[in-house]
Amino acid sequence: MQLDELKAELHAAGFPAFTARQVFQWVYHKNNQDPASWSNVAKAGRERLAALYGLAPRPILERRGDAGGTRKFLIGLADNHRIETVLIPEKGHYTFCLSSQAGCALACAFCATGAMGFRRNLSAGEIVSQVLTLKKELGDYAGRINLVFMGMGEPLLNYENLARALRIVCAEDGLNVSPRHVTVSTAGILAGLDRLEHDFPLVKIAFSLNAPDPLLRSELMPISRREGLVGLLDYFRAHERRQRITFEYVLLAGINDSPAQARQLARLIHGIPAKINLIPYNPNPRLPFRRPDEAGIEKFRSVLLEKGLTVVTRWSKGEDIRSACGQLAVLTEDC
Ligand code: SAH
Nearest CA to ligand 1 atom 17: 326
Q: What per-residue confidence (pLDDT) applies to 317? A: 65
Q: Say what the pLDDT of residue 90 is.
A: 93
Domain ranges of the chain: 3-52, 60-321
Q: What is the DSSP string of 86-112?
A: EEEEETTEEEEE--SEEE-SS--TT-H
Centroid of ligand 1 to alpha carbon of 7 (angstroms): 39
For residue 111, report the distance from its CA to the centre of ligand 1, in Å.
Answer: 6
Choose, from 97, 104, 108, 325, the residue flagged as catalytic.
325
Q: How far is the CA of 302 from the centre of ligand 1 (A)?
A: 22
Q: What is the CA radius of gyration of the chain?
A: 21
What is the pTM (predicted TM-score) of this model?
Answer: 0.95
Residue nearest to atom 24 of ligand 1 (CA): 281
CA 231 to chain centre: 23
d(CA 148, CA 169) in angstroms, rounded, equals 12
Cα 252 off chain centre by: 22
Q: Name the residue with the closest Cα to ligand 1, atom 4.
A: 150
Point out the catalytic residue in the list 84, 126, 154, 227.
Answer: 84
CB-CB contact of 211 with 262 (8 Å): no
Residue located nearest, by CA, to atom 12 of ligand 1: 208
How confident is the model at residue 313, as a pLDDT? 94
Which fold would CATH assign to domain 3-52? DNA polymerase; domain 1 (1.10.150)
Q: What is the pLDDT of residue 335?
A: 35
In ligand 1, which atom is closest to the CA atom of 185? 8
Q: Round to whole Å and give the CA distance between 160 and 333.
A: 31
DSSP secondary structure of 117-130: -EEEEPPHHHHHHH
The CATH code that applies to domain 60-321 is 3.20.20.70
How far apart CA 43 and CA 119 sit, in angstroms, is 40
Regions of the chain short of the pLDDT cut 50: 332-335
84 classed as catalytic: yes
Atom number in ligand 1 closest to CA 153 = 1
b/e burial code for range 92-104 (CB count within 10 A of at least 16 → b): eebbbbbbbbbbb
Cα 184 to averaged position of ligand 1 atoms, centre (Å): 12
Query: Does this chain's domain 3-52 share its CATH topology with 60-321?
Result: no
- pLDDT tens column, 258-290: 999 999 999 999 999 999 999 999 988 889 999
Of residues 326, 334, 332, 292, the one with CA closest to residue 111: 326
Per-residue pLDDT at 104: 96
Residues with CB under 6 A from ligand 1: 110-111, 150, 154, 185-187, 208, 210, 248, 250, 279, 281-282, 284, 325-327
